[in-house]
Chains A and B, each alone.
Chain A
Amino acid sequence: MQTARRVRRLVTALSVVVGAVLVLAVAFHVTLAQGQLELDQLRARAVEEQDGYERARVEVAAAAAPDEIVRRAQELGMIVPDEILHVSSLPGTTAVVPESPATSPSTMGSWPTVKPHLGE
């Protein structure tokens, strides 16, 4: 009788232990899966951010392209001057040096129009 009781207690204890281990195992796997999910989400976000950076890089490069700058400048109302004048400090030089002959005719007369506050 006593032996049978002992065996029953042992079996019950073992069953409880096995059950607890199984529950722990399940909990461990659930935690693992959740962690994996989070890791995957972080990886995906990192990839997204990197992609976003690369797209922005292309946008910046396109915005910095000469054609785009000219187009944008014209949208803002800027114009290409009829004559481009360069200032030279070389002794014996007239203060302004005109653009090369390939450009439009000299419009020195328009200087006061462009910079009236500087005078003639």
Chain B
Amino acid sequence: MLLALVAAVAFGAVVARLAVVQVAGAEQYRELGMDQRVRRVGLAAERGGIFDRNGLALAVSSPAETVWADPRVIDDPIGYAHALAPVVGVDEASLAERLAATDKSFVYVARQVDDVTVSRVRSLELPGIDFVPESRREYPAELLAAPVLGFVGTDNNGLAGLESQYDELLTGTPGELVVERDPRGREIPNGNRQVTVPERGSDIVLTLDEAIQYEAEQALVEQVERADAAGGTAVVLDVDSGDILALASVTGGSDGARASSSREHNRSVTDVYEPGSTNKVITVAGAIEEGLVGPDTHLSVPMTTSLGGFTFEDHDPHADAWWSVSDILRESSNVGTIMIGGKLGREHFDHYVRAFGFGSTTGLGFPGEPPGIILPLDQYTDSSMGSMPIGNGLAVTALQMVNVYATIAGAGSQRTPRLVAATIDEDGTRVDMPASEPREVISPGTAATMTTMLQQVVAEGTGQNAAVPGYPVAGKTGTARKPPYDEPPYQYVASFAGFAPADNPRLAAIVVLDEPSSAIYGGEVAAPAFARIMQFALRQERVASSVPVQGAVPSATTGTSNVTASTPPE
């Protein structure tokens, strides 16, 4: 009887305890168990790609794996670190510290490692070490358009260039993996497994043409080397749409010239320079638009002139010359242009430099794009109308300057330059970005007059090296001394900006060389690169020749190709 009583009490105690655990404390113990077993792993979304206008990949993501660890199940963090560190290439001491953080359930061991490393880590068979898929950013064309594309950080977030500008678009929506794992970190079969699929980011289709971009970079590399310059930049624009077909940046130096890397400036858009004589088109166009002068208006142009205590002179010595406005532009006369600027007046001059886009960003939205440096009208000095009409005392980007010539080429109307043509979302739906509406800056008549004069610059003036066989070219050379101006040695910026075919403009382009040493004039160092780039771009765009070529055009020797010729196979 007593035994039965004891058994009954014991059994009752067991039942009561069961009731406490499984009924009263069910939720609490269930949560404890889940907390032990359930792992939440973030699934990174694949970043959208960046493509040129023909669909060639410029930036894409490829699968990679990230090695992670659960410190709570690692009983020998030092031993683990000793085994893993040489395999994954991380510092052993810092890895051991991370693996010893038992208050955490997830620590990174190494991010985005290659397949060989993954295999070697797996072969170690270390419990608590696992892998999570991530993606690694790849730039298949390497340095092509690198400063334009920019780069991403370890977490695939855009840090520069287009990767930064369009980071939100390119970044998808991350997902999540919820799994149950045993104490050794292995997934429990038939356990709770939930996947929230990540949403891939959108792709971006650029207006860049990979072939034209490559040719622009190669031409610029050769010319920067040939001229022993500090660097250079080139831009090619489609006149009708404002599409940027090439945006090249090159870095010079004692080791030779090379295309700029993603960590260097996108010079065409972010770097300002004093444009020099390429700016004279604005002075002349403004005066013609205001009806103050015409292409055949003649002026008596002396060799020098003074304004505000400063003396301005023409480059080539000459006696007082009876020059037309066309002559002044063709010969790039500083004094003649200052005289035209004097007729235009500071108010009108200020109006036209701003109407052509100086003093404000182009609307491209590229990170780091400056508006340029233009004196406010109320800060003009007595000498301002001596320097600014000839392209000194103001600073612009290469993109702003080429857009001036694209405006003239576009019958006087300016478009906002465009770098992104379309986006493609995760479902493959393409959304085209609309081209901007043109905005009239000067009348079509003035634009046509300017085109004729600029053709003379190439045909007979300082821009003869910019000629492209088979196509009429219009453009202007520029050579500007960089500050400080007072003492030698002086440094210069040499440039050529123009468009072709002049009779039916399709493309505008600019080449700017920074601190050329072998020669300093835009007509000598920038114009030949412009010709090469423009010819290639016109051919690439299937623009038919419009000028008959009689006989072979003598080729000006500008140096040897940097490609080593090899004997063709027999």
Contacts and interface: CB of A to CB of B under 8 A. Distances in A.
Interface in A45-75: 47, 50-51, 54-55, 57-58, 61-62, 64-67, 70, 74
Interface string B207-246: 0001100100001000100000000000000000000000
Contact of A102 (B61, B529, B549): B529
A61 B57 contact: yes
A101 B532 CA distance: 8
Contact of B568 (A37, A70, A79, A88): A79
How would you classify the secondary structure of chain B's contact residues: helix, strand, loop or mixed? Answer: loop
Given A47-B133, A101-B555, A58 B140 contact: yes
A101 B465 contact: yes
Interface string A29-51: 10011001100100000010011
B549 A94 contact: yes
A108 B552 contact: yes
A75 to B, nearest CB: 9
B63 A99 contact: no
Contact of A88 (B223, B467, B549): B549
B545 interface: yes
A103 interface: yes
B545 A88 contact: yes
Contact of B190 (A36, A77, A80): A36
A14 interface: no
A15 interface: no
A104 B140 contact: no
A104 B555 CA distance: 7
B158 to A, nearest CB: 19
A113 B561 CA distance: 20
A41 to B, nearest CB: 11
B60 A57 contact: yes
B554 interface: yes
A102 B138 contact: no
B546 interface: yes
Interface string B35-71: 0000000000000000000001100111100000000
B214 A83 contact: no
B470 A62 contact: no
B555 A97 contact: no
Contacts of B564: 74
Contact of B556 (A64, A78, A101): A101
Which of A33, A65, A70, A90 is the most central at the interface, judged by chain B CB atoms within 10 Å of its CB?
Answer: A65
A93 B534 CA distance: 20
A100 B561 contact: no
B546 A90 contact: yes
Contacts of B569: 77
Given A79-B566, A102-B219, A97 B470 contact: yes
B484 to A, nearest CB: 32
Contacts of B563: 70, 74, 79-80
Contacts of A91: 548
Given A80-B561, A99-B535, A58 B549 contact: no
A77 B568 contact: yes
B469 interface: yes
B553 interface: yes
Given A51-B63, A101-B558, A103-B561, A64 B56 contact: yes
Contacts of B528: 100-102
Interface in B529-570: 529, 531-532, 534-535, 539, 544-561, 563-569
Contact of A54 (B61, B555, B556): B61
Contacts of A98: 469, 552-553, 555
A100 B190 contact: no
A79 B189 contact: no
A6 interface: no
A92 interface: yes
B468 interface: yes
Contacts of B468: 100
B222 to A, nearest CB: 8
Contact of B550 (A54, A66, A92): A92
A86 interface: yes
A66 B219 contact: no
Contact of A65 (B63, B142, B534, B555): B142
A90 B545 contact: yes
B144 A97 contact: no
A93 B558 contact: no
13 contacts: A54-B60, A58-B57, A58-B140, A61-B141, A62-B138, A66-B144, A66-B210, A66-B214, A79-B568, A93-B545, A97-B549, A98-B469, A103-B555
Given A33-B190, A54-B62, 20 more contacts: A40-B189, A57-B60, A58-B60, A62-B138, A65-B142, A66-B141, A67-B141, A80-B561, A83-B555, A88-B545, A90-B544, A93-B550, A96-B552, A100-B535, A102-B219, A102-B465, A103-B555, A104-B555, A104-B560, A106-B554
> Nearest 4 pairs between A and B by C-beta?
A92-B548, A61-B140, A61-B57, A102-B532
Interface of B: 56-57, 60-63, 133, 138, 140-144, 189-190, 210-211, 214, 219, 223, 465, 467-470, 528-529, 531-532, 534-535, 539, 544-561, 563-569
